[in-house]
Copies of this chain bind each other. A is one copy, B any other.
Amino acid sequence: MTISNLGETVTLCGWVQKSRDLGGMTFIDIRDRYGITQLVFNMDDDQDLCKAARNLGREFVISATGMVVERSNKNLKIPTGEIEIKMTGLNVLNAAKLPPFLIEDETDGGDDLRMKYRYLDLRRNPVRNNMVLRHKMAQAVRRYLDAKDFIEVETPVLIKSTPEGARDFVVPSRMNPGEFYALPQSPQTFKQLLMVSGFDRYFQIVKCFRDEDLRADRQPEFTQIDCEMSFIEQEDILNVFEGLIRTLFKEIKGIDLPEVPRMQYSDAMRLYGSDKPDTRFGMQFTELNDVVKGKDFAVFDNAELVVGINAKGCAGYTRKQMDELTDFIRRPQIGGTGLIYMRHNEDGSLKSSVDKFYDEASLKLWAQAFNTEPGDLVLIMAGQKDKVRKQLNELRLEMGTRLGLRDKNTFSALWVLDFPLLEWDEESNRYHAMHHPFTSPKPEDIDMLDTAPGEVRANAYDMVINGTEIGGGSIRIHDRELQSLMFRHLGFSAEEAQKQFGFLMDAFEFGAPPHGGIAFGFDRLCSIFAGLDSIRDVIAFPKNNSGRDVMIDSPATIDQKQMNELKIRSVL
């Protein structure tokens, strides 16, 4: 309903957002999926109608009929703000109790209350808009992939548990007592089988499941854009899916995302201390081993790596601010020990926290290494290489935030390439697949599988936006021998490998094409597009950190009869 409907008689159905009674006139704001419209009731025109309007409470469901007229005091902020409806009829479709929190953009409801009454929280514009955004993104993804000849194929939800990877949710089978289905952590093996079937280009927007201890922003069920292609190389995948992401930015947000830069995993680690660098801002790492060692400063001399960043314009940081930064890197979850700094003062002088060991000539070399200008602050950490990189990454992100360099409406995407194939797991004392066991090693690195497994690079790639991994994939193994070799290196016996993945290795013997794919975290992608920190806000009915849906009160106990039929018992 807009100014173009002037003079028309219309019927609106919706919820009472608020009402104002001015004696002779009563104004009601009615809210529907498309917005807010003002209804006007006049005592002079129809006393009964006006009195009925006065009895409407917040969130009553009404059907209201009247004529579209021009407003005297227009509200140009909303599409319906130029008009109002002069009421001739009113029908209460359902009364409403007072909701437990305000149904407005800014609500007074706490998290727990809003989750319990999620169906009321979903009435609020910001939450509803997230769902609409998600819908539009899903449709746009499908349009893009459909136009590129991808076929959406539904893979099964009741599959088989595998010991590799995260913990599975399992489902006892009544018809096969003592046996269990598992819910998929991803449709990985099925999409590979579809490639063996000749499906060439597959996709699916699909629910996946992981029974993990939930950190702040994990959900036991989540949604993937899952894709696979045959007869392709890594380059083809990067092109097709960079196209997808750029199309989404264009269609959904009207943003022309530039061509996505590419970076080796090893460079990402060296320059950002992270395999998912936030590239909205620079502040790349500078390694200082060559510059700082041999001056009798034990902290640096004993460190595997001395590395720092240049916080531009922060030379004026106060003692208090510097202490905050030191406290920040000393938090247990970061685990840093100390922070060394050098100020490049506005007057050109250089001042470090370790002047005892480094004279001005030395500091000049530092300044050179960081390419500092007057006003800059250099922050340096030292220690074991992997640890110090991780710690400095946290500090870099913190500085980016403090300097306002991480705007939610700025988007910077990056491909990270050539991940390691394997990573060492301290707990199980063996190598694990960094991506998954079906990822192919780079042919030129295969020889190192025996001699230096940790050095073997994989044909694996991630897409990162604003420091968040939104998708990852790999070129797969399509050869039985190589797949067996991989399982052996992952500590599977031949029997275990055959029992768990025999169907896939058998399939490889019947003419498997070269293939590869990628999966995007759809919840995460939506949350980034919505400018949100949490995926929970783009999920209609999310679960809390204990995996509970507090609205329907699930999980819950089940009948003994059900347990008996399933031939299981709880052992508490």
Q: Which residues of A contact B (CB under 8 A)?
A: 13-15, 31-33, 59-61, 63, 93-97, 99, 117-120, 122-123, 128, 131-132, 134-135, 138-139, 142, 146, 151-161, 163, 167-183, 189-190, 193-194, 196-201, 207, 209, 211, 213-214, 220-221, 223, 230-231, 478-479, 503, 507-514, 539-541, 543, 546-549, 551-559, 562, 565-572
User: Which residue of the partner chain B has the closest CB to A190?
Assistant: B541
Q: Is A139 in contact with B152, judged by CB distance below 8 angstroms?
A: yes
Given contacts A61-B511, A132-B151, A554-B181, contact A32 B159 (CB under 8 A): no
User: Which residue of the partner chain B has the closest CB to A179?
Assistant: B555
A-B interface, 10 closest residue pairs, ranked by CB to CB distance from nearest: A96-B511, A122-B197, A160-B554, A179-B555, A59-B511, A173-B555, A13-B231, A33-B200, A119-B193, A135-B151
Q: Cα distance A530–B168 when bound, in Å?
A: 35
Q: Cα distance A183–B181 when bound, in Å?
A: 12
List residues of chain B with CB within 8 A of the CB of A182.
554, 558
List residues of chain B with CB within 8 A of the CB of A571.
567-569
Q: Is A510 in contact with B200, judged by CB distance below 8 angstroms?
A: no
Given contacts A97-B509, A543-B158, contact A32 B198 (CB under 8 A): yes
List residues of chain B with CB within 8 A of the CB of A138.
152
Distance in Å: Cβ of A174 to nearest Cβ of chain B: 6
User: Which residue of the partner chain B has the closest CB to A172?
Assistant: B170
Q: Is A154 in contact with B198, judged by CB distance below 8 angstroms?
A: no
Task: Name 9 A/B residue pairs within 8 A (Cβ), A-sorted.
Answer: A15-B198, A93-B513, A119-B507, A123-B198, A138-B152, A155-B540, A175-B547, A178-B557, A180-B556
Q: Is B503 in contact with A551, judged by CB distance below 8 angstroms?
A: yes
Given contacts A169-B171, A548-B176, contact A31 B128 (CB under 8 A): no
List residues of chain B with CB within 8 A of the CB of A59.
510-511
What number of copies of this chain does the assembly contain?
2
Q: Is A559 in contact with B154, judged by CB distance below 8 angstroms?
A: no
Q: Is B512 in contact with A61, judged by CB distance below 8 angstroms?
A: yes
User: Which residue of the partner chain B has the closest CB to A189?
Assistant: B552
User: Which residue of the partner chain B has the closest CB to A559?
Assistant: B163
Q: Is A135 in contact with B153, judged by CB distance below 8 angstroms?
A: yes
List residues of chain B with CB within 8 A of the CB of A95.
511
Q: Is B176 in contact with A546, judged by CB distance below 8 angstroms?
A: yes
User: Which residue of the partner chain B has the closest CB to A214?
Assistant: B175
Q: Among B13, B33, B153, point to the contact of A199 (Cβ < 8 A).
A: B33
User: Which residue of the partner chain B has the closest CB to A158?
Assistant: B221
Q: Cα distance A221–B207 when bound, in Å?
A: 14
List residues of chain B with CB within 8 A of the CB of A567.
570-572
User: Which residue of the partner chain B has the closest CB to A156?
Assistant: B541
List residues of chain B with CB within 8 A of the CB of A180.
555-558
Q: Cα distance A94–B569 when bound, in Å?
A: 48
List residues of chain B with CB within 8 A of the CB of A161.
556, 558-559, 562
Q: Is A211 in contact with B174, judged by CB distance below 8 angstroms?
A: yes
Q: Is A139 in contact with B135, judged by CB distance below 8 angstroms?
A: no
Of residues A60, A99, A134, A179, which shows the largest number of chain B Cβ atoms within 10 Å of its Cβ?
A: A179
Q: Is A93 in contact with B146, judged by CB distance below 8 angstroms?
A: no
List residues of chain B with CB within 8 A of the CB of A230.
13
Of residues A128, A154, A182, A507, which shows the largest number of chain B Cβ atoms within 10 Å of its Cβ?
A: A154
Q: Is A572 in contact with B513, judged by CB distance below 8 angstroms?
A: no
List residues of chain B with CB within 8 A of the CB of A99.
510-511
Q: Among B122, B179, B197, point to the contact of A198 (Cβ < 8 A).
A: B122
Q: Cα distance A147–B220 when bound, in Å?
A: 32
Q: Is A510 in contact with B157, judged by CB distance below 8 angstroms?
A: no
Q: Cα distance A213–B175 when bound, in Å?
A: 8
Q: Among B168, B221, B513, point to the contact of A157 (Cβ < 8 A).
A: B221
Q: Cα distance A146–B230 when bound, in Å?
A: 31
User: Which residue of the partner chain B has the closest CB to A176?
Assistant: B555
Q: Cα distance A161–B151 when bound, in Å?
A: 34
Apart from A33-B198, A135-B153, A172-B568: 8 A-B pairs, beta carbons within 8 A: A96-B509, A99-B511, A122-B198, A156-B541, A157-B157, A158-B221, A172-B172, A176-B547
Q: Is B94 in contact with A511, judged by CB distance below 8 angstroms?
A: yes
Distance in Å: Cβ of A123 to nearest Cβ of chain B: 5
Q: Is A131 in contact with B160, judged by CB distance below 8 angstroms?
A: no
Q: Cα distance A560–B103 when bound, in Å?
A: 49
Given contacts A171-B170, A552-B159, A567-B571, contact A513 B13 (CB under 8 A): yes
Given contacts A142-B139, A167-B174, A198-B122, contact A94 B189 (CB under 8 A): no
List residues of chain B with CB within 8 A of the CB of A175.
213-214, 546-547
User: Which residue of the partner chain B has the closest CB to A542?
Assistant: B156
Distance in Å: Cβ of A553 to nearest Cβ of chain B: 7
Q: Cα distance A566–B172 when bound, in Å?
A: 12
User: Which residue of the partner chain B has the closest CB to A570?
Assistant: B178
Q: Cα distance A135–B150 when bound, in Å?
A: 9
Q: Is A177 in contact with B572, judged by CB distance below 8 angstroms?
A: yes
Distance in Å: Cβ of A537 to nearest Cβ of chain B: 14
